[in-house]
Every structure is written in structure tokens, then in C-alpha cells.
């Protein structure tokens, strides 16, 4: 039976830093991702794609609030559902164009993700969404719209919203069934639609945006994936990033990665969630995770010393078994 890899694709991979986010720009970026998926398909992998939606959901919120005098603005969890449909369609179209008859098909599953209604993260917004603003623009938005704005990686100010930890994807069984049938599955888009159980046992939407990396780990676990890959804009993880001592890391054990995380090497607003989700997957399954660009996904999954020569991304692997007495 083919092994499964889960690719966690950042929302910024579809709208890059120097782009406005037009449909043509996003589709061109999705085509690049589809070529990477095709290389995995040709090597016998099943693929599940989890994508981010930070830029897209923030842009959609601005569009809704800007037209609220004409039509009612919708809550954040509904915008999450809308961007799942939007980006799921975009990614599936790109996959069908690139892979054609090499695949059974591509299916996008609108995914709900259960969270804990008492998660303290709901009271402390940290997740950046939407475009960047200047300091003065951010102050005007805080005063005029009541948004909470925060500086993001030295690039400007963005709106931040609550980002609770995911518990489980509600559609996990459906995702697994589609994978078993040979489909490429797009699921957990934008971290999924956050829902919590009400006292009557029903699910209710929660105004928040879950980090897609943590949801990707939950989905990878639920589909018994062999690998979890965080697809990002840099070839590999770097230690001492932004300093003259910066250096790439080709491989580290889960324990080494956790020590680097504790030392502050991977900030919460950038590489932190990717590394933490990767560690959790490796520790819970004993399998591998990787962090790299779309172009280097297959090379990074290939065993060191394998058939592929050239650059690779970062692999996070299980700790070695202790030597027997």
C-alpha cells in the first residue's frame, strides 16, 4: 500500500510577500505546488494538502466589513469556510491541470476542527491575518474598527485574532476514506473551521483562526501518514537566523529541535509553529517530518545518501533508540 504524506502549505505560499493576491498570482503559485505534488505521486506517495489562509481570510474580512452598509458582514469562522472553498477549488484545479490522468482526482473537504471552548488562547489574540499596514494605519484601524494590531516580523503591522489549539478534525474518517481510494485530498484549509461543543452537544462556530501547522499534524496522525512536510518559503530551517552566524540545518532529532525551540531559535510568529508541530508528529508516531520549499519536498523526503543529489530541506527525525545493556 502507498505511504501517505501530509503537506502543510502556507497561505503566504499562495500570496507571496511581493504580490497583491490577484487570482492569477495565486493560481500561478498553486501550479508550482502542483508540480511538487506530481513528483511525489510519481514516486508512489498518497498526498493530503493542508493550506493556510492568513492573507486570504484577512482580505476577505476587509471586503466584508467594507460593504457592511450594503450586506451583513459574516463572522470569522464563516469566512474560514469561504476561504476553504476558494482555495480548495484553486488547488484542485491546479492539481488537475498539472497531474491530469496521473491521479484518480483531487477533492477538497471543507473541514471542521474541534477546539476547547475554555482554551485560554481565545482571550489572547496572536494569529496575524490579512495585509500589512504602517504604524499609523494600524492605529487608525484599532481606533476605528476595534481590531487588535501587532507588529509582524519587522515587515509592518497586521490584525491579530485568537488562535486556539486544535483537538481533532471532525471529518477525519472521510479524509482517510478518500485517501484510501487514491484521491489527492485538500483538507483542514486555513486550519479548519473552529468549532466547540455547546452544552446540548451540538457544535458551534468560534471566532478564531487555527494555525494550519497544528491542524496538519492532527490530520497526519489521523490518516496514519508516514511523513509531515511543512512547505514554506525557505529551503531549510536556520539556526541564529538574521545574524552573521546563521546556518542551515539538514537534520535534527526531535529532542534537538525541542531544545532549539526552548532556546528561542524559532519565534512563535514565524518558524515556531512549524517546528513545534513537526516535533509533535515525530514524537507521537516515530516517523519523520520535514520543512522546506515546494521544489525540495521530494528530495528532502528521500533518505540521506539516496538517489537524489543536490540540495535538501530540513528533516526532523526520531531520537535514536537507547543502546541495550
Residue 142 lies in a domain: yes
Residues 69 and 192 in one domain: yes
Residue 274 lies in a domain: yes
Q: Does the pLDDT value for residue 325 go beyond 60? A: no
- Catalytic residue, chosen from 88, 127, 189, 191, is 127
Residue 325 lies in a domain: no
100 is catalytic: no
What DSSP assignment string belongs to 154-208?
TS-EEEEE--PPEEEETTHHHHHHHHHTT-EEEESGGG-EEEEE-TTS-EEE-S-
Q: Which three cell numbers stand for residue 313?
A: 530541506
189 is catalytic: no
Residue 96 lies in a domain: yes
Burial class (CB in 10 A: 0-12, 13-18, 19+), 191: buried
Residues 79 and 19 in one domain: yes
Residues 143 and 53 in one domain: no
Burial class (CB in 10 A: 0-12, 13-18, 19+), 137: middle
Residues 13 and 45 in one domain: yes
Report yes or no on whether pTM surpasses 0.85. Answer: yes
- Catalytic residue, chosen from 11, 88, 130, 191, is 11
- Catalytic residue, chosen from 52, 188, 191, 274, is 274
Residue 324 lies in a domain: no
* Mean pLDDT for all residues in the chain: 91
Residues 183 and 37 in one domain: yes
Burial class (CB in 10 A: 0-12, 13-18, 19+), 27: middle
The model's pLDDT over 242-290, given as tens digits with 9 standing for 90+, comes to 899 999 999 999 999 999 999 999 988 778 999 999 999 999 999 999 9
- Catalytic residue, chosen from 12, 96, 235, 272, is 12
Amino acid at each position: 500500500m502507498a505511504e501517505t504524506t501530509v503537506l502543510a502549505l502556507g497561505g503566504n505560499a499562495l500570496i507571496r510577500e511581493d504580490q497583491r493576491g490577484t487570482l492569477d498570482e495565486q493560481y500561478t503559485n498553486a501550479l508550482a505546488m502542483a508540480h511538487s505534488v506530481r513528483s511525489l505521486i510519481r514516486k508512489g506517495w498518497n498526498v493530503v494538502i493542508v493550506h493556510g489562509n492568513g492573507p486570504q481570510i484577512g482580505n476577505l474580512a476587509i471586503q466584508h466589513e467594507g460593504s457592511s452598509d450594503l450586506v451583513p458582514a459574516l463572522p470569522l469562522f464563516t469566512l474560514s469556510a469561504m476561504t476553504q472553498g476558494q482555495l480548495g477549488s484553486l488547488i484542485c484545479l491546479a492539481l488537475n491541470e498539472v497531474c491530469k490522468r496521473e491521479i484518480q482526482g483531487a477533492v477538497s473537504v471543507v473541514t471542521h476542527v474541534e477546539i476547547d471552548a475554555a482554551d485560554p488562547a481565545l482571550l489572547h489574540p496572536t494569529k496575524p491575518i490579512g495585509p500589512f499596514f504602517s504604524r499609523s494605519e494600524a492605529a487608525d484601524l484599532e481606533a476605528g474598527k476595534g481590531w487588535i494590531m501587532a507588529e509582524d516580523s519587522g515587515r509592518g503591522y497586521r490584525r491579530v485574532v485568537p488562535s486556539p489549539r486544535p483537538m481533532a478534525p471532525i471529518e477525519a474518517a472521510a479524509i482517510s476514506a478518500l485517501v484510501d481510494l487514491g484521491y489527492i485530498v485538500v483538507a483542514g484549509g486555513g486550519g479548519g473551521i473552529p468549532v466547540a461543543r455547546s452544552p446540548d452537544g451540538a457544535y458551534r462556530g468560534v471566532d478564531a483562526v487555527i494555525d494550519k501547522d497544528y491542524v496538519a499534524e492532527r490530520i497526519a496522525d489521523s490518516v496514519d501518514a508516514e511523513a509531515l512536510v511543512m512547505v514554506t518559503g525557505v529551503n531549510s530551517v536556520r539556526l541564529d537566523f538574521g545574524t552573521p552566524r546563521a546556518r542551515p540545518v539538514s537534520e535534527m532529532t526531535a529532542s534537538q529541535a525541542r531544545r532549539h525551540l526552548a532556546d528561542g531559535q524559532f519565534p512563535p510568529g514565524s518558524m515556531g509553529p512549524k517546528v513545534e508541530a513537526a516535533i509533535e508528529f515525530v514524537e507521537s508516531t516515530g516517523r519523520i517530518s520535514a520543512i522546506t520549499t515546494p521544489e525540495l519536498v521530494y528530495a528532502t523526503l528521500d533518505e540521506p545518501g539516496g538517489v537524489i543529489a543536490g540540495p535538501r530541506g530540513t528533516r526532523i527525525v526520531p531520537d535514536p533508540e537507547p543502546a541495550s545493556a
